[in-house]
Amino acid sequence: MAGLEIRAVHDRAEMARFIALPERLYDGQAGFVAPLRLERGDALSRAKNPYFEHAKAEYWLAWRDGRPVGRISAQIDELTQVRHGAGLGQFGCLDAEDDPAIFQALTGAAEAWLKDAGMTRCQGPFSLSINQQCGLLVEGYDEPPMMMMDFAPPYAAQRLAEQGYAKVMDLLAYDYTAEQPPPPGAEWLERLTADGRVVLRRLDKGRYRQELDVILDIFNDAWSENWGFVPFTEAEMSHIAAELKPILRPEMVWIAEIEGEAIAMIVCLPNLAEAFEGLSGKLLPFGWLKLLWRLKVKGLKSGRVVMMGLRKAHHGSPIGSAIVLMLIEELRESLIKIGYRRAEMSWILEDNWRMRAVIEGIGGRHSKTYRIYEKALT
């Protein structure tokens, strides 16, 4: 570790280096597009991200010869502790040059901080929680980049394993081409809505906040028994509603109701990673002009399904499965109308066999795998 130093991030200049580091490490690599620095800064800000109302975190940079060569975060979330056991700490934001010594020093710093706080397990990567960006990319390095999904180089998985981290869960991404034939049994699905009992409708942006509350309530119910689940708090719901409002397209968000009760939803966002390419994460001095041109003039061609859920009461039921298919079909038709060619459905737990069967049954292709690791802190 000669010449290697690990320092906690304490000021704005160091945080700026922390955020910008992946750009230098991965610039030019297939599958990587730098996220907007402004967005990453807000996500990691203790003052701006409501995650910090129930969690705390620390950030570190690895330095060598006067320049940063790696970074990591460590987090302790009270809600995770409540749902998944005391002593569970997390790490995230792991990016470094391909050097075992750097990975050893970074994970060592995170583990020491967690152990000092009484943690007995370390799990990740989460940047910063399971409801934000999570998982280490282990398959699909050359696939097109997708918004709010982290990039990792092929060597990272091996370097992390060398530090004693083992797989605990895989998160899967599926590529779905919009130019698909209707799903099998489409005529039967249409009959479900004929008598008005089942209604599929797109987002009503005139009732935006109420609609987002419905969507997040379905999500919290649908995912409540899934591995790693942590519910959104009211403050996080408000934060998400404000963040998504400028980019949500009503025709890409669908809600299913049975006799007036909202029971399922699907939310697809424009893949802003297409628009960020070549901006190096910066909007100034001219990045914002390029961004506006790509969004308004050039247009985007892909989206990401960030949420899809069916209330627990309908899990495993024929009508529940049918409604999920109907939502996907409504979204597919909408994507074609607005000129989108594909959508990524990400992420899906590897043990969510019902959802995987639905997606694969309509032509979804498993394109990427993101891995969550765990290590005992002894």
Give the residues across from 63 on adjacent strands.
Answer: 5, 68
pLDDT over 90 at 184, yes or no: no
Predicted local confidence at residue 316, as pLDDT: 86
Q: How far is Cα 266 from Cα 268, in angstroms, rounded to an integer?
A: 7
Give the ranges where the chain is alpha helix by DSSP (H): 12-26, 37-44, 78-84, 100-116, 155-162, 186-192, 208-222, 234-244, 273-276, 287-292, 318-337, 353-361
Closest C-alpha to 267, from 211, 190, 337 = 211
Element (H, E) at 351: none
Q: List, for residues 19-41, the tens digit of each pLDDT value.
A: 999 999 998 898 898 888 888 89
Closest C-alpha to 70, from 42, 88, 43, 93 = 93
Name the pLDDT band for 83 (thresholds 50, 70, 90): very high
Give 109-112's long-range contacts (Cβ < 8 A, gap of 24+): 109/6, 109/60, 109/72, 109/74, 110/58, 110/60, 110/72, 110/73, 110/74, 111/74, 111/375, 111/377
What are the backbone angles phi and psi of residue 368, rounded to the nearest 5°?
A: -145, 155
**Helices 100-116 + 155-162 axis angle, to 10:** 50
Residue type, 350: E
Q: Is 87 left (phi over 0), alpha (psi -120 to 50) or beta?
A: left
Q: List, for residues 87-144, the tens digit of each pLDDT value.
A: 999 999 999 999 999 999 999 999 999 999 999 999 999 999 999 999 999 999 999 9
The total number of residues shown for the chain amounts to 378
pTM, entire model: 0.92
